[in-house]
Amino acid sequence: MNNQDFTEHDPVNMTELATAMRYSRQTVYRWIAAGYVPEFGHRTSIAHCKAWLRNVYQPVVMAQKRARKLRKRIRLGKFLHVNLSKSGASLFVGRRGATVKTLEAAGQRRRSEYLEAA
């Protein structure tokens, strides 16, 4: 069957599902690892998969993306501000684009320093 022959409610296997939805098979198997349960054992309908993506998977992915970007910039004056993030705090002097980093939280090491130490 070509992907034009599938309707939303036809049972399809995972390869046909990936073709019909224009995703890779690897992406479909990632959904299964994330908790998607096919409707009919090893077969499912396109509508069932789309409903799962819309109601379960996408809200979780979006929440994870929002959680990664925990950053806050606090202004202490015209040219002085503190950046707070998950990894720590740092103090900057200067305006946007032309700042000098003056202070980093104690015990914080950059990724490049970890690579050099290894």
Q: What is the pLDDT of residue 34?
A: 86
Distance CA 12, CA 23 (A): 14
Residue with tokens 């599902």: 17
Which pTM value belongs to this model?
0.48
What DSSP string describes 12-43?
E-HHHHHHHHT--HHHHHHHHHTT---TBTTB
Would you write out the chain's pLDDT as a tens digit for each of its 118 residues?
A: 454 577 888 899 999 989 888 889 998 998 898 889 998 888 999 999 888 888 888 877 777 666 555 667 788 888 888 877 767 777 777 776 666 666 555 555 554 444 444 4
